[in-house]
Structure 1
Amino acid sequence: MRRSLTEAVPAITWPQGIVLTGYGPGQAEEVHRLLQLGHSQGGGRVPALDVWQQRFETDPEYDPALCFIALDAQGIAGVCQCWTSAYIKNLVVHPRAQGRGLGRALLLNAFKVFQLRREGYVDLKVLEDNVRARRLYESAGMYVVRREPVPV
């Protein structure tokens, strides 16, 4: 899916009690756990912690300033992991924080950051049967640009 960044990004409303921070290696285990939980609900898979962390932190498109961590009183409530190519790699919200607008706030935050970096658009991939995520992305102005078969 894609969203043009030539259009205005709506104002971001963060749910009460949420603090936005960046990623640090000390958060890897908790971020990984949340990604596993999110992928178990929305499809896809996440490699083992050591493999995931090594791949994530050494990827040529990795920039810790593009990994947005939403914290609440209980820990990490959401993660939006982006690449320097204006690509959203992962967007996951913990079940305890779902339904409060956190996913939308993280998504809009990514749009705003890429807009400030003068990117023309932002992309992501989502499984077609992940209806909840697709609705979120479409409500934020994203549209399908290409369908790809999912390897079985």
Structure 2
Amino acid sequence: MIQRVDSKVDADTTIYLFSHGSTGVEGILRIDIDGYIMSLFVQEEARGKGIGTELMQTAFAVLREIGKSTVGLSVHHDNHRARALYERLGFLPYMPGHDGYTQFVKVL
């Protein structure tokens, strides 16, 4: 089950998506309303079960719902598992970032 929680601090809104399983929270995704995925985390014991994919697909739906047409994120070049997930979901690298990170973008 995916739970959405919106958090507003001053003028900034962050949307949290929580994936709940039999052991509690198994994954968390955090996005800002500008269409940037700030973080994705899946508990180690829950990896490989499609939780990251489900959280990302839910994030895409939320972003479309608020009128966004693209989504961006950054990932470290050593994080091969995350890069594979993002590329499988249609993200394309478009700009090398700082400290070994690459910016990715996807059209929704």
TM range (shorter): 0.7 to 0.9
Following superposition of structure 1 onto structure 2, how do residues 102-117 of structure 1 map, counting pairs within 5 Å?
102-117=51-66
Pick aligned residue for 2:2 from 2, 11, 20: 20
Identity across aligned pairs (percent)?
A: 27
Segments of 5+ residues of structure 2 without an aligned counterpart are: 101-108
Amino acid at match of 1:58: V
Matched residues in 1 for 2:30 and 2:73: separation?
Answer: 11
Post-superposition CA distance 1:39-80 (Å, at most 9, x none): xxxxxxxxxxxxxxxxx86374323xx210011121110001
User: More relative contact order in 1 or in 2 (CA 8 Å, sep 6+)?
Assistant: 1
Distance in structure 1 (CA, Å) of the matches to 2:68 and 2:88: 20
Give the secondary structure class of the aligned counterpart of 1:141: coil
Question: Matched residues in 2 for 1:94 and 1:116: separation?
Answer: 28
Residues 89-128 of structure 1: CA deviation (Å, up to 9, x unaligned): 0111111211011101111111111112221200011111
Taking a change above 3 Å as real, the CA distance of residues 82 and 130 of structure 1, as seen in their structure-2 partners, is same
Aligned to 1:149: 98
Question: Secondary structure in 2 aligned to 1:115?
Answer: helix
Counterpart residue type for residue 79 of structure 1 = I
Query: Rg bigger for which structure?
Result: 1
TM-score by length of 1: 0.60
TM-score (norm 2): 0.83
Report the Cα distance in structure 2 between the residues aligned to 1:134 and 1:95, rounded to whole angstroms. Answer: 17
